[in-house]
Each structure stands twice: as C-alpha cells, then as structure tokens.
Amino acid sequence: MKILHTSDWHVGKVLKGRSRAEEHKSVLAGVIDIARAEQPDLVIVAGDLYDTAAPTPEATRLVTRALTALRRIGADVVAIGGNHDNGAALDALRPWAEAAGVTLRGSVRENPDEHVIDGTTAGGERWRLAALPFLSQRYAVRAVEMYELTAAEANQTYADHLRRVLGRLTESFTEPDRVHLVTAHLTVTGAAAGGGERDAHTVLGYAVPATVFPATAHYVALGHLHRAQRIDGPCPVRYCGSPLAVDFGEQENVPSVTIVEVTADTAARVREVPVTAAAALRTVRGTLAQLAELEQPDAWLRVYVREQPRAGLREEVQELLPRALEIRIDPELVPAPGSGARVAQRSGRSPRELFGDYLSSRGHADDGVQELFDELLEEVDH
C-alpha cells in the first residue's frame, strides 16, 4: 500500500501581522496535486490542521475543502488533532467528516476502539491504524484511567502514560497479513525541533522515547515537529515536517510531504516530495547602505539592522525592503547587561534623566526620541 503522510498545516497562521491565507491555499493545492500524482491508498494528517484553537470560518473552510479533495482522489483520509487544534471542535465536525468519507479524531475518546481504524486498499492489502491525537499531561492521566490500564500514580511521567495508552491502542498489532500503522502528535526524545513549534509542548516533560511505539508497527506517522526527519526506534518512526515554513526559525527547513510504500511482509520505503508553493523565509543583516544593495527577494524577511537605534529607522528599512515583516537592531550591536553602561539610580533623579540613562544603556543616541519623551512628559504633567 502507499501512504501520503502530512502534518502541521497551521492554517490560519499570521506571521508578524501578515495573513498567510493565500499561501496556505497554494500549499494545500500543492499537497492535493502530489496526492493526485502519487495515488496513495491512505492519507494521514498527523495534527495541527489549524494554527489556533479558534480558527476563522475561512480557515475552517480551507481545511475541510482540502480534506474533501484528498478523499475525492480515492484515498482513505485520517486526520487527528494536534496541540494547536481544539480537539472538541474537531470532534464536532465528525458528522460532516463521516458524510465526506473522512476519519477525524480530534481528542481521545472514552472507547479506545474508536482510535483503531481498519481499512483495505483497492489491491486487497489490509491495514490497521492506531490514531492518537495530542494529549496534554492532564488528559494523559485521564486517558490511562479511562482505559483501565493501571492506576495513574502521581509520580508517573507523561511518557509512562503515553506508553500505556499506545500499548492499549496497538495490542491487536499481531496479525501477520496486515499492515500496522500508528499516527500521533507528540515530541520524541532526540528529535530536532523545526524552529517554530510551541515551546510549552516540546520541552523535556512532553518528550517521550521512541520505545513507546511497538516493534510490530510497520510505520509511525508523527506530527508536531516541523522538520522532516527519521527517528531511531523499534520500528520506522518519522516526522514528515510542515509543508511550509511556519516561522523564521524554520527558514532552513525543506517543506515536504512523505510518501511511504509498505506491505504486510516488507519494510516501509520512504521518500520526501517537496512542497514549494509558499514564500520562503529569510533573515538578512546589514547597514542601510548594504540593505539598499540587496535584490528584492521573493521571500518574507526578518531584518537585523546594523545601525544605532533612532526614530524612523524602521520606516526607512520598510521602504527599502517592503517584504520585511520583522525589523530589529542586530543583537550584536545591543550592549549586554553589565557591560559598563551607566545604571540609572532612581533616588533624586528626574524622569528625563532616568530615560536618558536608559537610552544610553541601549546604545541609543537619538535626540529626537529624547525630545519626544520630553513632550509626552510635559503633557502628562499638565
């Protein structure tokens, strides 16, 4: 059977105030084109369909249309909720999904059998997929209790709970003539972050070892980390990455989807197919003169300006580089704390003097800013 593995669409993403709706339309159209060309038997969307738990109607329309289009090419489609998604809201879409032929699992349900999905390809290959949406630490404990595995003890770790839940969902992975699959949205210990993930859900407390997955699985399709990568484990474990760079920390990633070919008695063969529809993200550095010499790139820019701060500097950079979304003074030019800059003493000093000390400590020598502060202070005083 052939599988198309994608995740972390983050539809609705706003980058430094800039909507990426048009890029998302092009990116998902590209994913659908790849599916038409590859003709997979199964499409797995491993979480974070949306960028926010309260998606706009436009974002919801785009995601549901994309899932419907993937289903119409003839593939089975399974999508799970990620940490950015509202699991309950995704589950509320299940009547639509079932009518469209899409399997949607937004959050963990009380009946574990709802997370074990069976299918058969047109060629007769039988498959079974254990689908585990994102679990917070609190709900991981609840899931263990719901599935009546063992009592959830206070000192057990998140990884302990995930191991038990996955063990329950994959306990039927014993038939020799069936392809056994897992999809989940989580962080595996030792995996490389893509650069734009939500820190609270990638820190060590949320990381689990690859040994939580059973050796009987033919392929584990993961979402959450935005860089495509293979993980060493007891079975083939892989993040497919995001099909577009979500933030500037991901500018070195290569957006793609993963194509997997596997049978019940042969190992999974994996390849990446690039998705090139979104604008690239780039970081540039330089003085105003150096920035003026740059060719206008077809990319969104983060600009580190090698100039002393002054009023109007941002506007000058924006005029030179209209696609600059983030403009900052180069961190190398900002004095480090305790580097010898005079520290303001509050006692007996006027607000004007204190503000002047602050400007000096930040390497800011623009008289215009000091004059503006004086005007605002005078308005407040009167």
Distance CA 276, CA 195 (A): 19
Does 339 reside within a domain? no
**Between β-strands 207-208 and 324-329, what pairing exists: parallel, antiparallel or unpaired?**
unpaired
Residue 216 structure tokens: 């009987």
Q: Do residues 293 and 152 share a domain?
A: no
Boundaries of domain holding 13: 2-274
Checking 165-172 for CB contacts under 8 A at 24+ apart, the result is 165/108, 165/132, 165/135, 165/140, 166/130, 166/132, 166/212, 166/213, 166/214, 167/214, 168/112, 169/112, 169/115, 169/116, 169/130, 169/132, 170/130, 170/213, 170/214, 170/216, 170/217, 172/116, 172/128
Task: State whether 260 and 321 are in the same domain.
Answer: no
382/371 Cα distance (integer angstroms)? 17
Count of beta carbons in the 10 Å neighbourhood of residue 285: 13
pTM of the predicted model as reported, rounded to 2 decimal places: 0.83
Q: Per the structure block, which two tokens stand in for 139? A: 């709900």
Q: What is the pLDDT of residue 200?
A: 47
Q: Please give the Cα distance from 223 to 81 (Å, whole number).
A: 10
Report CA Rg, the chain.
25
* DSSP summary character for residue 276: -
Q: What is the pLDDT of residue 144?
A: 56
Domain identity same for 157 and 17: yes
Give pLDDT tens digits along the chain (382 positions). 999 999 999 999 999 999 999 999 999 999 999 999 999 999 999 999 999 999 999 999 999 999 999 999 999 999 999 999 999 999 999 999 999 999 999 998 889 999 999 999 999 999 999 999 998 866 665 655 555 544 444 335 788 888 989 999 999 999 999 999 999 999 998 888 766 555 544 455 678 899 999 999 999 999 999 999 999 999 999 999 999 999 998 888 899 999 999 999 999 999 999 999 999 999 999 999 999 999 888 899 999 999 888 888 999 999 999 999 999 988 877 655 554 444 445 666 788 778 877 777 666 666 777 778 888 887 777 6
Clarify whether residues 284 and 359 are in a common domain. Answer: no
Determine contact, residues 144/164, Cβ cutoff 8 Å: yes
Both structure tokens of 11: 């539809």
Give me the helices (H) in 293-366, please: 313-320, 351-361
Res 142: pLDDT: 61
Per the structure, the count of domains in the chain is: 3
| Residue ending a domain, choose from 274, 301, 318 | 274
- Tell me, yes or no, whether 298 and 236 share the same domain: no
- pLDDT at position 145: 56
